[in-house]
Structure 1
């Protein structure tokens, strides 16, 4: 399947018109039509925008895989954190959670980790 066909297929799956998609992507309707008909190939930046907008990967759009899903892999530090029995109560449902919930929990954990970066052991939690 060509890049253009995959772009058109994803747009159809999301129920978007060419005009709506073009506006959201910051390109003209004519440009989008040319990409979808394989008359033009998008620059890497535009290809990345397509992947983000259509919630897929550039590998899928380019035909390197037939799987359009985005695989979100938690960091090994996160896996170690939730495996710790002391932390497990808070994240006990992570491994069985739906993917959307896992992504939300991972973002929350990364937010907390970033906020606590540089904190001294003698500091009270939440204070810098």
Structure 2
């Protein structure tokens, strides 16, 4: 199942085996073995394929027929939390006393009400 799905995803992006090999930093022959079923990728490489093609590892392995198991909300949340500025903000929040967190909640409510007007 994996070899067929890998080839199908590659062709859908109009990429050659050499393109994929270059992206992975391996030889074309090495990549070709994945598509022919002569070799199986390690977990790290499997995740690289899933990330590159924006599909789940389960899809690549044939455990599901859904390309991506993440909902739009989950994708949006992932993008939100991958923002380094927000990560710093949330790290600081986590270490803040409860009084400051409550004050922040109150300020946020004021901002939300202001934007509704």
Range class of TM-score, shorter chain: 0.5 to 0.7
Offset at residue 27 of structure 1 (A)? 2.0
2:70 is aligned to 71
1:37 is aligned to 36
1:54 is aligned to 53
2:10 is aligned to 11
User: What CA RMSD, in Å, does the superposition of the two structures yield over aligned residues?
Assistant: 3.0
Structure 2 distance, partners of 1:14, 1:110, is: 32
Structure 1 runs not aligned, ≥5 long: 75-98
Larger radius of gyration: 2
Structure 2 distance, partners of 1:61, 1:25, is: 17
Question: Would you say how many aligned residue pairs link Structure 1 and Structure 2?
Answer: 100
Structure 2 runs not aligned, ≥5 long: 105-117
Bigger proportion of residues as helix? 2
Give the TM-score normalised by the residue count of structure 1. Answer: 0.62
2:87 aligned with 1:119, yes or no?
Answer: no
Give the TM-score normalised by the residue count of structure 2. Answer: 0.66
SS at match of 1:56: coil
Moved more, 65-74 or 14-23: 65-74
Structure 2 distance, partners of 1:21, 1:100, is: 25
